[in-house]
Structure 1
């Protein structure tokens, strides 16, 4: 599978599909493709987004004030 739709990605990350919608609206989250009304996420973009958020411990997480 080279692409995930919104529901598949939401299931992968155990989150609400609405969160992904909000992220897209806010310019956050992984890159996506929109063809007509259909939104899909390339697997390589999802995996890159996951890799960018990989941490060794909770103290390595940067917190925004």
Structure 2
């Protein structure tokens, strides 16, 4: 079963998933920090192991992406 087929991922699998599925590069260290300071994707625990639902990762990734623009000045695509 590949990372893209699992319903929940371990934190170490999240960076590859976000890059492969959404093209969003994020370091494991950044996810670790977000887990303590906030701002990261929602997670659940199985004992002490943090697990990330794929749907939550997809939602978090969509929220991080801007609307399409046609220039760096931020003009939105019509």
CA RMSD of aligned residues (A): 1.8
Cα distance in 1 for partners of 2:63, 2:33 equals 20
Could you say which structure has the greater relative contact order, defined with CA pairs below 8 angstroms and 6 or more residues apart? Answer: 1
Superposed CA deviations along residues 7-63 of structure 1, whole A, max 9, x for unmatched, are: 110223343212111001001111001222101100010001111122213527xxx
Query: Are 2:12 and 1:7 equivalent residues in the alignment?
Result: yes
Cα distance in 1 for partners of 2:38, 2:46 equals 17
Bigger radius of gyration among the two:
2
> What runs of 5+ residues in structure 1 fail to find an aligned partner?
61-65
TM-score, length basis structure 2 = 0.65
> What runs of 5+ residues in structure 2 fail to find an aligned partner?
1-5, 20-24
Structure 1 segments of 4+ aligned residues over 6 angstroms from their partners? none
